[in-house]
């Protein structure tokens, strides 16, 4: 595979050397790594690591798996019956060094537990949950992640008691992004759980949350370090008077 000639400022080596096209397998490991970091984990595991031996050596290096993006590319949708096996393999490749992981689709409580059991230093967890029944598994998982700093839950209907466990288990939590399925289950009780157990929050994003002015006031009082507050489609809030200011 050939690429166009590069300028002197480009980090890539020239595509033509001594009148012949240069083989991509001959690229330095750091350049290969730079290319691969622009791909998601699924693309690396299903395609990139099969390019050649030199690419595979980089693909299985522990340093490649400190951050894992398991979001499913559109061209792979419907082809990932083995998604959980693939995700577990990616976690294994990190050899305990995983710091950030983002997942959507095909999530089970057993998969989240597998990740937590092997990633005690995890700092960021983000997932899209299309199965509301599985949301209760969050509390079981975060109890094993005391270093967690950022948690993003999308399309969930998380219970107040589960969110309290998150706050109590993750004293380093700085960012919470919560996107609810609807107003049901995401209300002032959830807001109070945030206010009472997450005083160290710096960034809070709530989407389609049913909290009222009461819940919002509790958050503002209980999270004094909050610097960024994003409220999207939270229709029960009426910003007037002191609350507006």
Three state DSSP letters for 100-167: EEEEECCCCHHHHHHHHHCCCCCCEEEEECCCHHHHHHHHHHHCCCCCCCEEEEEEECCCHHHHHHHH
Q: How confident is the model at residue 55 (pLDDT cuts 50, 70, 90)?
A: confident
Q: How confident is the model at residue 8 (pLDDT cuts 50, 70, 90)?
A: very low
In angstroms, rounded to a whole number, what is the distance separating the alpha carbons of residues 150 and 170? 9
Boundaries of domain holding 175: 66-244
Q: Is the pLDDT of residue 226 over 90?
A: yes
**Three-state SS for 81?**
coil
- 205 belongs to a structural domain: yes
Nearest 5°: phi and psi at 148? -60, 130
The top-scoring range by mean pLDDT among 34-38, 51-55, 65-69, 156-160 is 65-69
Q: Name the strand (E) or helix (H) holding 62.
A: none
The mean per-residue pLDDT over the stretch 54-62 comes to 87
- 160 belongs to a structural domain: yes
CATH value at residue 88: 3.80.10.10
- 12 belongs to a structural domain: no
pLDDT cut 90: percent of the chain above it: 38
What residues have CB less than 8 Å from 235, skipping those under 6 apart? 183, 210
**Three-state SS for 242?**
helix
Q: Is the pLDDT of residue 5 over 90?
A: no
pLDDT cut 70: percent of the chain above it: 77
The mean per-residue pLDDT over the stretch 163-174 comes to 94
Partnered with residue 70 across adjacent β-strands are 103
pLDDT digit string (tens) for 77-133? 665 678 888 899 999 999 999 999 998 767 788 888 999 999 999 999 998 765 554
- 48 belongs to a structural domain: no
- 239 belongs to a structural domain: yes
**39 HSE (CA, 13 A, CB side):** 17
The mean per-residue pLDDT over the stretch 175-190 comes to 76
- 144 belongs to a structural domain: yes
**pTM score, whole prediction:** 0.79
CA end-to-end distance (rounded Å), the chain: 59
In angstroms, rounded to a whole number, what is the distance separating the alpha carbons of residues 32 and 24? 9
Total domains in the chain come to 1
- 27 belongs to a structural domain: no
Q: How confident is the model at residue 30 (pLDDT cuts 50, 70, 90)?
A: confident
* Better-predicted residue by pLDDT, 124 or 51: 124
- 193 belongs to a structural domain: yes
The mean per-residue pLDDT over the stretch 215-240 comes to 89
In angstroms, rounded to a whole number, what is the distance separating the alpha carbons of residues 235 and 245? 18
Average per-residue pLDDT in the chain?
81
The mean per-residue pLDDT over the stretch 60-73 comes to 89
* Better-predicted residue by pLDDT, 28 or 17: 28
């Amino acid at each position: 595979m050939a690429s166009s000639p590069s300028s002197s400022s480009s980090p890539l080596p020239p595509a033509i050397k001594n009148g012949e096209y240069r083989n991509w397998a001959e690229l330095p490991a750091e350049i290969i790594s730079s290319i691969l970091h622009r791909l998601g984990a699924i693309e690396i595991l299903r395609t990139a690591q099969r390019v050649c031996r030199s690419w595979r050596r980089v693909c299985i290096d522990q340093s490649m798996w400190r951050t894992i993006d398991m979001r499913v590319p559109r061209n792979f949708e419907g082809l990932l019956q083995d998604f959980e096996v693939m995700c577990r393999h990616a976690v294994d490749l990190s050899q305990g060094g995983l710091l950030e992981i983002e997942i959507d689709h095909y999530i089970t409580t057993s998969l989240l537990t597998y990740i937590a059991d092997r990633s005690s230093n995890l700092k960021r967890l983000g997932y899209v949950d299309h199965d509301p029944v599985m949301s209760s598994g969050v509390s079981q998982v975060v109890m094993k992640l005391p270093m967690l700093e950022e948690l993003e839950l999308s399309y969930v209907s998380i219970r107040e008691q589960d969110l309290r466990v998150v706050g109590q288990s993750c004293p380093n939590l700085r960012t919470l992004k919560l996107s609810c399925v609807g107003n049901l289950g995401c209300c002032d009780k959830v807001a109070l759980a945030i206010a009472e157990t997450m005083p160290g929050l710096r960034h809070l994003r709530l989407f389609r949350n049913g909290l009222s002015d009461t819940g919002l006031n509790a958050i503002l009082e209980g999270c004094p370090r909050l610097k960024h507050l994003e409220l999207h489609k939270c229709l029960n809030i009426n910003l007037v008077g002191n609350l507006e200011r």
